[in-house]
A = this chain, B = another copy of it.
Amino acid sequence: MSKTNAGRFFEDYTVGEVIEHAVPRTLSGGERAMYHALYPARHAFYSSDEFARDCGLHEAPLDDLIAFHTVFGKTVPDISLNAVANLGYAEGRFLKPVHMGDTISSRSEVIGVKQNSNGKTGVVWVRTTGSNHLGEDVLSYVRWVMVRKGNVDAPAPETVVPDLAGSVAASDLVVPEGLNFEGYNFAQAGEPHRLSDYKVGEKIDHVDGVTIEEAEHMLATRMWQNTAKVHFDATARDGGRLIYGGHVISLARALSFNGLANAQIIVGLNSGAHANPCGAGDTIKAWSEVLDVAETDAPGIGAIRLRLVAQKAEAEPFSLKGDDGKYLPGVLLDLDYWALMPV
């Protein structure tokens, strides 16, 4: 028997199974520094221990997306090594900040399977949960991927398609314990705009662009211990290395500081689509649309629901979909998330 991991195929997933992913990971100030070197991240809550203290925490947590990438990376060997495509995200909730010194583990429950009509692939839905060394859950989200069958003759499983919420209800968002925006320092945060300054339907062009290099996306993807071959091996795929979709998420989120500096803390991930592949040499720009606003019970804290779109620099501003309902070729990411913002 081969000792190496060939990854799972479609027929290897059974609804109800819980997969404990390997290789827990302890995070430190090193990951924080690397995150700031890899992305133009400037949200003050994650940049400054003092700012986080003024908001009621004992120090700045690690960026929410460090938590996301770390949890996600652990799932790759079990979920997406043979994935044809990463189809979507839903019901993502950030449950607890991740701090330097925390050790993060991931587990996934298979919650749906559906063989495709071609008989060669199928869709697998998993609910992935990340937890820290104290056993506290820090993040939970649903993700579905299209996976090849290893044996095309394997019988099709009974179709189970999970009933997923179109978005996380504002009342289900978890505000970090002790968080308080009543003394929020807008000058330090970098912009004066509070929740009431944003209108549903408002669109913001985040202006700045970043041209991606091979070394950068590989450093990032490796740091999350994501092992998907297509990101690293230029000989594995026509057209060269494919950039990890999460790299584009982090780039776009960081670029969105310019106009959304006070959308400090990601608390919900409603949906997400990697609309087109991204490769080194692409220059990424981003725009956002305000989809909703909501109150929370926490002092001075509201929630803003945002569409975050990453596109290539050469695409028209505010590109999204064509008349056929399909993403335009210059669109890379269409993400729908909730963030906490001072009211």
Contacts and interface: CB of A to CB of B under 8 A. Distances in A.
Given A33-B33, A38-B222, A3 B204 contact: yes
Nearest to A7: B207
A282 to B, nearest CB: 10
Interface in A1-29: 2-5, 20, 22-29
Interface residues of A, number: 80
Copies held by the complex: 3
B26 A235 contact: no
A172 interface: no
A39 B261 CA distance: 31
Contacts of A2: 259
A208 B36 CA distance: 28
A25 B25 CA distance: 25
A126 to B, nearest CB: 17
B40 A232 contact: yes
A260 B4 CA distance: 8
A209 B189 contact: no
A258 interface: yes
Contact of A188 (B22, B38, B210, B218): B22
Nearest to A260: B3
Interface stretch (A48-56, A156-164, A267-275, A293-301): A48-56
Contact of A204 (B4, B31, B191): B4
A289 to B, nearest CB: 13
A313 interface: yes
A33 B23 contact: no
A27 B32 CA distance: 9
A24 B39 contact: no
Contacts of A165: none
B23 A34 contact: no
Given A215-B213, A223-B33, A233 B3 contact: no
B209 A236 contact: yes
Closest 3 CB pairs of A and B: A30-B33, A28-B29, A22-B190
Interface of A: 2-5, 20, 22-34, 36-42, 44, 47-51, 59-60, 77, 100-101, 103, 105, 133, 187-191, 193, 197, 204-211, 213-216, 218-220, 222-223, 225, 227, 229, 232-236, 241, 258-261, 281, 283, 313-314
